[in-house]
Amino acid sequence: MIKMIKHTNIAEVKKGARVELRNGFHATVLDNLVNAQTRLCNVEGIVTEMGSVYSSDMLHVLTPVGWLPILHTPKQLASRKARQQLGW
């Protein structure tokens, strides 16, 4: 039997969504700028703080069926690659 892996488009990550970040922290999205390079989030890490998070650093979103991987736009992926080349 083949397992189907469903992905979530980044545009479906709305205000109030719980996301898992690339560094392992979890966050709650606080805005509805679905195609933006950065999103305003309340991040629960070493401390809990509100700030901007790159959309490409959001790896999974919590849905009623569990954690699903997020598909990013080509522009967001290109921006991530450019940041990596600069050492970010």
CATH code that applies to domain 8-85: 2.30.30
Specify the pTM.
0.86
CB atoms under 10 Å from CB of 7, counted, come to: 11
Q: What is the mean pLDDT of the chain?
A: 91
pLDDT at 45 over 90: yes
Question: CA-to-CA distance for 19 and 59, rounded, in angstroms?
Answer: 7
Structure tokens at 25: 């922290």
- pLDDT at position 5 is 53
pLDDT in tens, 56-75: 999 999 999 899 999 998 99
| CA–CA dist 81, 87 (Å, integer) | 10
